[in-house]
Amino acid sequence: MTAHVAEVSACSVGACSFNHDGCTAYAITVSGSPEHASCATFIDTSSLGGLPKVLAHVGACQRAECKFNDHLMCDAHDVKIGPGAEQADCLTYQPTAV
């Protein structure tokens, strides 16, 4: 089991209320469908959310088929969030080889 907590090193989703020159959520959840992994913490409102500084990490990963998923925790060094199949996807997601 991993003892590492992956940080959100970059977010290029301009419409997210937690993105203020970086992710200001305390932690994000990665979810989505088998074809891609999305940031379930994404909120598109006019309100600013989050903490006063950037320090987000991946709190949980629901993508069991991702090669970085270790007991629902992200074992990647860091993750990047940005546009993909949806507006806010985990761009670090990699499905395990079948």
Say what the pTM is.
0.92
pLDDT in tens, 8-42: 999 999 999 999 999 999 999 999 887 789 999 99
Q: What is the DSSP secondary structure assignment for residue 3, as one 8-state letter?
A: -
Domain coordinates of the chain in residue numbers? 7-90
Give which of 95, 29, 23 is closest to 66, Cα–Cα: 95
Residue 37's contacts (CB-CB under 8 Å, 6 or more residues apart) are 30, 31, 61, 63, 66, 89, 90, 93
The token pair at 59 is: 């709190």
**If DSSP codes are grouped into helix, strand and coil, which group holds residue 32?**
strand
pLDDT in tens, 35-64: 789 999 999 998 899 999 999 999 999 999
Residue 19: the pLDDT is 95
